[in-house]
Amino acid sequence: MVVRKRSLVFVVLLVVFGVGRCLAQGGGLSRSSFPEGFVFGTASSSYQYEGAVEEDGKGRTVWDVFAHTFGKVIDFSNADVAVDQYHRFDEDILLMKDMGMDAYRFSIAWSRIFPNGTGEVNQAGIDHYNKLINALLANGIEPYVTLYHWDLPQALEDRYDGWIDPRIIQDYADYAETCFKAFGDRVKHWMTFNEPHTFAIQGYDVGLQAPGRCSAFLRLLCRAGNSATEPYIVAHNVLLSHATVSDIYRRKYKQKQQGSLGIAFDVMWYEPMTNSSEDIDATQRAQDFQFGWFMDPLFFGDYPSSMRKRVGNRLPRFTTAEAALVKGSLDFVGVNHYTTYYAKHNSTNIIGILLNDTLADSGAMTLPFKNGKAIGDRASSIWLYIVPQGLRSLMNHIKQKYGNPVVIITENGMDDFNNPFISIKHALNDDKRIRYHNDYLLNLLASIREDGCNVQGYFAWSLLDNWEWAAGYTSRFGLYFVDYKDKLKRYPKKSVTWFKNLLKSA
């Protein structure tokens, strides 16, 4: 999921530097508007949904530790229970089926399979995911599985600092291959990672997410870290881990299991603040330091030239063999897209001087305002502005720069504030969410039908309201309302009816 990521960075920087219409039948959209075989689904992650953090042999994760650390989560909550999908998946699958969804994207908790990160397999974990996968398929819902959605086994963090150490590559590969062996006969769509850019920046640059590492000025928030180097090391190890796992899958499993493998990236779209050449160049750099950071090695064999120039020897280098392994190592591009910002050249670089971190290395400032006016209507999260046309622009960027690969929108959605003073009945009237999905889908459809972009699926974030990382339970992204005060009962919001009409319509 959702980050909510940029929200906290944005808030911190602001503090530090002072700085209802109803839409029927999808507003003209229908399932048949999209190409044959286009997949509609909902998305989730293990740590945000499952709960049962100490059941059936599961080991601790970095998020178990982080969420229980005072001051790390805005409402002082944790995901020990979350929305209890570990016990309620049968109920939730029926909700998906009733909506007419084709697929469900979920993640496997590494520490349920290997409680200590490595060593002996925990059969109870294998059994749980077998039950979940079988139940999905029995109800006509295709599983889309993410192998890593931020919940690193704490044992590996304790043993060698997790993603900072290259030993993680082999441990991750052993875990992934265990999953291919156990589930690959039924799982045909794999994502090795969810939002590597997010956990590299949030976990190792600004320290606002697990494992909470940072340096320099931000050391006030962290016990250890180096914001100038660690995010690049983490990203490098992630890319090598992905490529290693992709090579294993292609050599040993792909032909027999007939599956595909990709990564789900977090991708904002950026528009230049002005038409000046400085701002246009800064906009490209902003994209290089976000999406290109991972896509360029996967498609061209190396990091963007702007990163090489600006980061210098802090940016790791691929050997010839590593570059060959990484290049071309994915079958599809997963895109988690929520919003669009303006970008401008950072002429002062005050932030960079103070923080000495990767956020400043691009030399670009990204903001949701121009001349005091917001780029679009805002959702609840401070970082999420509603700019539907940004999705079409992003799809065309991917088509033009990377040769029109297969793309799946692996997350898209918006949140409401968890207002304790309104009734459930009022909270279910989510016309704004309906407009959001309608307008983003219209732009996605235009990118497919009019622009020829190779997009093959769309996953709404999220099926249920859930625990949103550092935002805790303050943010509701779900199509279904979860009553946290009454045994986690699920109630369909108006958007459920909208999706049901969309997916049943001709």
Mean per-residue pLDDT for 356-372? 90
Three-state DSSP class for 82? coil
Average pLDDT for 166-170: 98
Residue 476's nearest CA partner among 440, 422, 439 is 422
What is the structure's pLDDT at 22? 36
Closest CA to 410 of 206, 246, 190: 190
- Strands (E) in 284-403, as ranges, are 332-336, 340-345, 364-367, 369-370, 373-374, 377-378, 385-386
Tell me how crowded residue 291 is: count the other CB atoms within 10 A of its CB. Answer: 25
Q: What is the pLDDT of residues 103-147, one digit of tens each?
A: 999 999 999 999 999 999 999 999 999 999 999 999 999 999 999
pLDDT for 211 equals 98
What's the confidence (pLDDT) of residue 27? 53
Question: Residue 1 pLDDT > 80, yes or no?
Answer: no
SS3 assignment, position 77: coil
Task: State residue 327 phi and psi, 5-degree precision.
Answer: -60, 125
Query: Within 143-229, where are the H helices?
Result: 154-160, 167-183, 196-204
How many angstroms separate the CA atoms of 190 and 183, rounded?
A: 11
Give the per-residue SS3 of 247-287: HHHHHHCHHHHCCEEEEEEECCEEEECCCCHHHHHHHHHHH
Burial of 452 (0-12, 13-18, 19+ CB in 10 A): exposed
Whether pLDDT at 345 is above 70: yes
| Per-residue pLDDT at 15 | 31
Predicted confidence at residue 350, as pLDDT, reads 59
Q: Which tokens is 422 given?
A: 């309104």
Question: According to the model, what pLDDT value does residue 147 have?
Answer: 99
Q: Pairing between strand 489-492 and 480-483?
A: antiparallel
The H or E element that residue 110 is part of is helix 110-113
Q: How far apart are CA 327 and CA 243, in angstroms?
A: 8
Is there a contact between 57 and 115 (Cβ–Cβ < 8 Å)?
yes
How many Å apart are CA 172 and CA 166, to the nearest integer?
10
Give the pLDDT score at 359: 82
Mean pLDDT value of segment 35-42: 98
| Strands 364-367 vs 340-345: parallel, antiparallel or unpaired | antiparallel
Residue 57 neighbours by CB under 8 Å, 6+ apart: 112, 115, 122, 124, 125
> Which one is catalytic: 50, 195, 230, 322?
195
Least confident of 26-35, 121-130, 317-326: 26-35
pLDDT beyond 80 at 218: no
CA atoms within 13 A on the CB side of 357: 25
Task: Determine whether 120 is an active site residue.
Answer: no
pLDDT at 9 (0 to 100)? 39
Q: What is the H or E stretch that residue 426 is in? A: helix 424-427
pLDDT at 200: 98
Top CATH class, 31-503: alpha beta
For residues 492 and 476, the answer to whether their CB atoms sit within 8 Å is no
Q: Given this model, what pLDDT does residue 263 score? A: 98
DSSP class of residue 464? B
Q: Is the pLDDT reported for residue 8 higher than 80?
A: no
Rounded Cα distance, 467 and 462, in Å:
11
Model-level pTM greater than 0.85?
yes
Decide if 486 contacts 86 (C-beta within 8 A). Answer: no
Judge whether residue 219 has pLDDT over 80: no
Percent of the chain with pLDDT over 70: 92
Report how far residue 97's alpha carbon sits from residue 338's, in angstroms, rounded to the nearest whole number: 25
The catalytic position among 50, 157, 322, 411 is 411
Instruction: Output the pLDDT for position 352.
Output: 56
Report angle CA 390, 393, 395 to the nearest 5 degrees. 110
CA end-to-end span of the chain: 30
Query: If we measure between CA atoms, which residue out of 213, 208, 231, 219 comes closest to residue 355?
Result: 219
pLDDT of residue 25 exceeding 80: no
With a cut of 70, say whether residue 74 has pLDDT above it: yes
Helix count (H) and strand count (E) of the chain?
21, 19
Sign of CA pseudo-dihedral 64, 1, 131, 178: negative
Residue whose C-alpha is closest to residue 180's, from 254, 111, 127, 109: 254
Average of per-residue pLDDT across 202-215: 96
**Does the annotation mark 157 as catalytic?**
no
